[in-house]
């Protein structure tokens, strides 16, 4: 016998709307409602039914309780007992909001996330290497040092810039380590504020001498699609040519 997850969800939705709580109390009562009264004798069919219920719960569409028998040392396990018996231990079925939407085929469109906003996901090391390569290739070491200072990097965090790319990678690593150890990574931590280094010369809202507020050089962003250029492009992993930079006060960059 084939059990369709959508049909099961729609059956539970119908029973909830009708107030038929009795059929939702135990899996033994729910099964006849799903099959339309057709008896289920084959153990394989019972297992298929149980599997569909489990997948619906794991998908966030359905909730139910798995009751433990009195005196049992372990909770019921469908892999270690007959599915027909396990079905009797399933109680109190309810659809979640998204399960109810699925049962009624309701789809809600949402605005796509702004690719320029911090979505809280981490940047890959490959993206950090790409950022370091761009900055090291665009700014001479003395200008890069000034750029990092104006971005809010504390003096004790400034890396040696004899090898600019390696120094930037070391800076990123230390900022990420500090960010991970911060008690509240979504809030401003004790890490030096360095997001302006990803702005490629864009002035912060308070003016050119006011560092941007960020938690650890943009740690907490993932490489991905982006719009525009400059900050979002670099921190999202987009290839950015040096011509996209707006160096402003760092006009004396590399000429080689």
- List the pLDDT tens digit at each of the 256 positions of the chain: 889 999 999 999 999 999 998 999 999 899 999 999 988 888 999 999 999 999 999 999 999 999 887 777 777 888 888 888 889 899 999 999 999 999 999 988 778 777 777 777 777 888 889 989 999 999 999 999 999 998 888 888 888 999 999 999 999 888 888 877 776 544 444 334 444 445 444 433 444 333 333 334 443 343 344 444 444 444 444 433 333 334 444 444 554 5
Close Cβ partners of 70 (under 8 Å, ≥ 6 residues apart): none
* Beta bridge partners of residue 62, listed in sequence order: 95
Ramachandran bin of 60, using left for φ above 0, alpha for ψ from -120 to 50, beta for the remaining angles: left
**Do the domain assignments include residue 73?**
yes
179 and 67 within one domain:
no
Close Cβ partners of 183 (under 8 Å, ≥ 6 residues apart): 189
209 and 162 within one domain:
yes
pTM: 0.46
134 and 242 within one domain:
yes
Question: Residue 39 and residue 32: Cα distance in Å, rounded?
Answer: 7
Domain of 234 in residue numbering reads as 125-250
231 and 188 within one domain:
yes
154 and 238 within one domain:
yes
Q: What is the 3-state secondary structure (H, E, C) of the chain?
A: CCCCHHHHHHHHHHHHHHCCHHHHCEHHHHHHHHHCCCCCCCHHHHHHHHHHHHHHHHCCCEEEEECCCCCCCCCCCCCCCCHHHHHHCEEEEEECHHHHHHHCCCCCCCCCCCCCCCCCCCCCHHHHHHHHHHHHHHCCHHHHHHHHHHCCCCHHHCCCCCCHHHHHHHHHHHHHHHHHHCCCCCCCCCCCCCHHHHCCCCCCCCCCCCCCCCCCCCCCCCCCCCCCCCHHHHHCCCCCCHHHCCCHHHCCCCCC
* Beta bridge partners of residue 63, listed in sequence order: 94
219 and 140 within one domain:
yes
Q: 125-138 and 141-150 helices cross at what angle (nearest 10)?
A: 120
Where among 51, 71, 103 does a domain terminate?
103
**Do the domain assignments include residue 112?**
no
pLDDT in the model for residue 241: 38
* Beta bridge partners of residue 90, listed in sequence order: 66
**Do the domain assignments include residue 255?**
no
**Do the domain assignments include residue 120?**
no
Number of domains in the chain: 2
80 and 22 within one domain:
yes
């Amino acid at each position: 016998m084939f059990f369709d997850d959508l049909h099961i969800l729609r059956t539970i939705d119908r029973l909830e709307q009708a107030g038929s709580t009795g059929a939702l109390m135990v899996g033994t009562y729910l099964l006849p409602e799903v099959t339309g009264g057709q008896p289920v004798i084959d153990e394989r069919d019972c297992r298929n039914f149980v599997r569909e219920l489990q997948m619906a719960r794991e998908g966030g569409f359905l909730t139910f309780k798995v009751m433990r028998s009195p005196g049992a040392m372990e909770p019921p396990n469908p892999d270690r007992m007959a599915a027909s018996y396990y079905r009797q231990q399933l109680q109190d079925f309810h659809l979640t909001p998204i399960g109810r939407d699925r049962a009624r085929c309701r789809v809600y469109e949402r605005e796509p996330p702004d690719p320029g906003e911090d979505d809280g996901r981490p940047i890959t090391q490959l993206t950090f290497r790409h950022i370091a390569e761009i900055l090291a290739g665009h700014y001479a070491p003395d200008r890069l040092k000034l750029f990092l200072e104006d971005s809010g990097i504390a003096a004790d965090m400034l890396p040696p810039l004899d090898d600019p790319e390696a120094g930037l990678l070391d800076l990123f690593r230390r900022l990420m380590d500090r960010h991970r150890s911060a008690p509240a990574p979504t809030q401003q931590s004790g890490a030096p504020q360095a997001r302006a280094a990803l702005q490629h010369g864009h002035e912060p809202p308070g003016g050119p001498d006011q560092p941007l507020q960020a938690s650890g050089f943009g740690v907490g962003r993932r490489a991905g699609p982006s719009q525009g250029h400059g900050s979002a492009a670099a921190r999202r992993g987009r290839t950015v040519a040096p011509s996209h930079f707006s160096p402003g006060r760092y006009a004396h960059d590399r000429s080689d």
